[in-house]
Every structure is written in C-alpha cells, then in structure tokens.
C-alpha cells in the first residue's frame, strides 16, 4: 500500500537541454521515419526553428528521477502502467531547455478482481526555460497491486 502522505508530493525540478542528438536518438528508438527529426534543413523547410521534439519525447521525463519509485516504495513486480495523457501547449526544438517537475496528484485504493490496488496519478509539467512558456503536462496513471 502506497502511503497517502505522498499525495501532493513534488519531486525536485529538473532541467533538460534539448539537443539534436537526443531528438534523433529518440526518433530512431521509436522508429520515426519523418526526416524533420533528423535533418535540420528539412525541419526549417517545414517551418520549425530547428529539429522539433517528437510528441512522445516528454514521456521519458517523468521517471528520469532515479529515486521516483523508491521514494514512493513501489515494487516493480506489482506495477502496471495505467495509461497516459499528454497535453501540449507549445512546440520545443533542439536548442531549447526544458524545466520540468513531477508531482503525485492522487493515490486512491480500489478493489479489483486481483485484489486491492493503489491507483496513482502523477503529473509532470514542463516549461521552456528561456521563454517561460508552458510546453506540456504529462498525466500518467500507475497501478500498484497490494
């Protein structure tokens, strides 16, 4: 059972410099074939200031804090992905720096066919360091069986 004291808990804000290399490595890992993620000239021809960030790139930020799971006392053997939702507010490109922070929004105990479980809602919000513009909210649901 996840301690309810973590509702509202905010992890330390982090910063990530968005580089062409990070974007191309991520795009390659997800087998993205669109050339705007690899070729700066093509990205600029499409109206971007540089190589744009792929839409699912931000999902890696939520758990980039190495102690996320240990802080909450989550046992990986009892963990399921409950889904995710991404809200986009502005586009980031190579050369931008994102400041992001993860917060535990809610923890609810439920009873299911497999027994009791905790449903954890985690929100990671990111903004552009230079402009202050909000870039994304990533809402992730986790299921942890008792």
CATH of the domain at 133: 3.10.129.10
User: How many domains is the chain partitioned into structurally?
Assistant: 1
**In angstroms, rounded to a whole number, what is the distance separating the alpha carbons of residues 67 and 71?**
6
- Residue pLDDT, tens place only, 100-146: 999 999 999 999 898 999 999 999 999 999 999 999 999 999 999 99
DSSP-assigned states of every residue in 16-37: EE--HHHHHHHHHHTT---GGG
CB 116 within 8 A of CB 138: no
**In angstroms, rounded to a whole number, what is the distance separating the alpha carbons of residues 72 and 70?**
5
Give helix then strand counts, H and E, for the chain: 3, 5
Tokens 């939702």 sit at which residue?
85
Is 52 strand, coil or helix? strand
- Residue pLDDT, tens place only, 12-33: 999 999 999 999 999 999 999 9
**pLDDT recorded at residue 78:** 95
- Residue pLDDT, tens place only, 34-88: 999 999 999 999 999 999 999 899 988 887 766 889 999 999 999 999 999 999 9
Which range of residues forms the domain containing residue 124? Answer: 4-145
**pLDDT recorded at residue 106:** 98
Decide: pTM greater than 0.75: yes
């Amino acid at each position: 059972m996840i301690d309810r004291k973590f509702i509202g808990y905010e992890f330390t804000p982090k910063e990530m410099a968005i580089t062409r290399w990070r974007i191309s490595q991520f795009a390659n890992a997800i087998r993205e074939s669109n050339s705007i993620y690899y070729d700066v000239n093509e990205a600029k021809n499409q109206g971007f200031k540089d190589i744009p960030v792929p839409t699912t790139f931000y999902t890696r930020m939520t758990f980039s804090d190495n102690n996320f799971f240990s802080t909450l006392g989550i046992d990986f053997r009892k963990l399921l992905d409950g889904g995710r939702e991404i809200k986009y507010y502005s586009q980031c490109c190579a050369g931008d720096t994102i400041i992001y922070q993860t917060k535990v929004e809610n923890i609810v105990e439920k009873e299911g066919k497999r027994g009791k479980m905790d449903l954890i809602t985690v929100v990671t919000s990111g903004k552009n360091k230079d402009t202050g513009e909000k870039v994304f909210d990533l809402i992730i649901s986790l299921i942890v069986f008792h």
